[in-house]
Amino acid sequence: MTGATTRSFAIGETDFLLDGEPFRVLSGALHYFRVHPGQWADRIRKARLMGLNTIETYVAWNAHEPVRGEWDATGWNDLGAFLDLVAAEGMHAIVRPGPYICAEWHNGGLPVWLTALEGVGLRRSEPTYLAEVTAYLERVYEIVVPRQIDRGGPVILVQIENEYGAYGDDTAYLEHLVKVTTDAGITVPLTTIDQPTDQMLSDGSVAGVHLTGSFGSRAAERLATLRRHQPTGPLMCAEFWDGWFDWWGSHHHTTSAADSAAELDALLAAGASVNFYMVHGGTNFGLTNGANHKGRYLPIVTSYDYDAPLDERGDPTEKFFAFRDVIAKYAPVPDEVPAPSGPAPQFEVALSAVAAGVEASVTRHDTPPTFEDLGHLSALVSYEADLGGRAGVLRFGEVRDQAWVSVDGVSVGTLSRTRHEDALVVPAGERVRVLVEEQGRVNYDSRLGEPKGLIGGVTLDGEPLSGWTATAVDVAVLGAAVTDAAPPAMPNAGVAPFVLRGSFALESATDLFLDSTGWGKGYALVNGFLLGRYWSSGPQRTLYVPAAALRAGENVLVLIELDRVVAQTARFVAEPDLGPLEE
């Protein structure tokens, strides 16, 4: 940031102060890890055109360090480049590094290796956890410190933890995070965020750190509660919930633009600052979706459209214009507005079943190992054991999260964690195979870091079944191998995964929508880029294909299907279909 003009940002008696003058933060959440880097600048610019002056982002620890000690801040993880683009657009930035972020993101942002450490105490003053968190935050702050506003950069606020009052009350833990943050050189104001209840605000606060709230309705009431706990300084709704997320098996969630705009008006009329959650949701590309579990396991869909002001493609929605009109009552907005993209190209692609091109290692175990035991970060593990000609009830302690069971290469049924299934009858045969899919890790509360795979013992008619092999299948590697070199065509195998490949030509790179109607359950890749999961369970019926992942000329589509292959044709359609709304 050498040569940039330094400025000041502080918390005054009643307002945020930018260079000593009252300043209202008008911010929008935009997660760099949910948007293709080639489209960061476009989304940032469109947020500014809505009237915003600030961009907020979480930092996803598990995106930066999926393997312990292997830190990555390049490409999709280049937080510094993202913040530099915010600055280039003339906007400020808020950074929320967690370490826990929730965000409907895989494991709440915590790395699987961390949550699997023996004896680790998550989100509290436990030595192993604190040591790892300290190292993580120091790496993040190496990026953030030189980009603070008083050093010529865009960053004006840094958040400590995330809605901690909904989880615990370990003040010493929060004090440790504050010390790590200030010792690293963070000089801009620090904040916490909690839902505006007396208990949560009390448990989630820490001395010397400014409190903010998270809510999407009853603004006057929630601000009054926040003010009781934060008697001086500016009021801020640091997560103004302007939409909601979807999970497989439900409907597509939307909220009223008019109602949200009215709440925004009340918020701004009270003099408060705001951060829209989300201004642009983006996509849970790859295998990054989280899951809910409040008595029933519900994995999050691939789209994180969130019914936000900028949709998954980055186009302005009704909310964009409704919010822009409200903001214009309190602050200047640009004259320019973003134009919608129009229909995407529509065409079909012939697919051929092909042989999987990746050799996977096979390990032997007395009982089925977990994904964590195998050190496996992808979504599939195939377990096999000898039946010795026996038939009966095959029962598992728990299946996390979905299993396809076959005997001697013939499918005999499925088991679903969501449906609380843990047993099925298998016919007499020599060998049983159980293909298990990890569908997304729970992103909140006590289920953070729970192991995946076949949990507990396995019995056949009440007798332990031992002597298992485990084959870890890396979905991204499998898809990329088939992309790079077309393997020979082959008839459909008897059991999943079924791999299909096709190619299509484009005159130029452009956003596309891949229609999953009629398919079962699986993954789609374009040019080796893992778009994410599809599932006939819905509600989502299309996968967003960003233009930045495509190219002029030939492009390769690969499907990895787990349920069935009905039609060997893929369709690209003009518009997204995120599913039916609640009636």
The topology under which CATH files domain 347-354+475-573 is: Jelly Rolls (2.60.120)
Q: Kindly report the three-state secondary structure assignment for every residue of 421-453.
A: CCEEEECCCCEEEEEEECCCEECCHHHCCCCCE
Residue with tokens 């839902």: 195
In angstroms, rounded to a whole number, what is the distance separating the alpha carbons of residues 449 and 456? 16
Residue 534: pLDDT band with limits 50, 70, 90:
very high
Q: What pLDDT score was predicted for residue 528?
A: 96
Pick the CATH number of 362-473 from 2.60.120.260, 2.60.40.10, 3.40.220.10, 3.50.50.60: 2.60.120.260
Question: What percent of the residues of the chain are helix, what percent strand, and what percent coil, each to the nearest 5?
Answer: 25, 30, 45
Q: What pLDDT score was predicted for residue 495?
A: 86
Query: How far, in Å, are 98, 109, 447 from residue 119 at the CA level?
Result: 21, 19, 15
Active-site residues, by number, are 163, 239
Q: Where in the chain is the domain with CATH 3.20.20.80?
A: 9-327
Q: What pLDDT score was predicted for residue 491?
A: 64
Q: Where in the chain is the domain with CATH 2.60.120.260?
A: 347-354+475-573, 362-473
Per-chain mean pLDDT for the chain: 96
What percentage of the chain exceeds 70 in pLDDT? 98
When pLDDT is averaged across residues 508-528 and rounded to a whole number, the result is: 97
When pLDDT is averaged across residues 217-226 and rounded to a whole number, the result is: 96
What percentage of the chain exceeds 90 in pLDDT? 93
pLDDT of 7 above 70: yes
Residue 356: pLDDT band with limits 50, 70, 90:
confident
- What are the pLDDT digits (tens) for 377-389? 999 999 999 999 9
When pLDDT is averaged across residues 257-280 and rounded to a whole number, the result is: 98
pLDDT of 79 above 90: yes
- What are the pLDDT digits (tens) for 454-507? 999 999 999 999 999 999 999 999 999 898 877 776 665 678 899 999 999 999
In angstroms, rounded to a whole number, what is the distance separating the alpha carbons of residues 549 and 551? 7
Task: Name the more confident of 13 and 486.
Answer: 13
In angstroms, rounded to a whole number, what is the distance separating the alpha carbons of residues 260 and 270? 16
Q: What pLDDT score was predicted for residue 542?
A: 98
Q: What pLDDT score was predicted for residue 583?
A: 62
Task: Name the more confident of 14 and 5.
Answer: 14
When pLDDT is averaged across residues 358-369 and rounded to a whole number, the result is: 90
AA identity, residue 552: A
- What are the pLDDT digits (tens) for 420-450? 999 999 999 999 999 999 999 999 999 999 9
Could you tell me if 310 and 316 are in contact, meaning their C-beta atoms sit under 8 angstroms apart? yes
Pick the CATH number of 9-327 from 3.90.190.20, 3.30.1540.10, 3.40.1000.10, 3.20.20.80: 3.20.20.80
In angstroms, rounded to a whole number, what is the distance separating the alpha carbons of residues 236 and 129? 30
pLDDT of 255 above 80: yes
3-state SS, residue 155? strand
Q: Among 429-438, 477-486, 526-535, 546-555, which stretch is predicted with the lowest mean pLDDT?
A: 477-486
Prediction pTM value: 0.97
Query: How far, in Å, are 176, 380, 400, 559 from residue 497 at the CA level?
Result: 46, 9, 18, 10
Please give the angle made by the CA atoms of 335, 336 and 342, to the nearest 5 degrees.
Answer: 150
DSSP string, 321-356: HHHHHHHTTTS---S--PPP--PPP-EEEE-EEE--
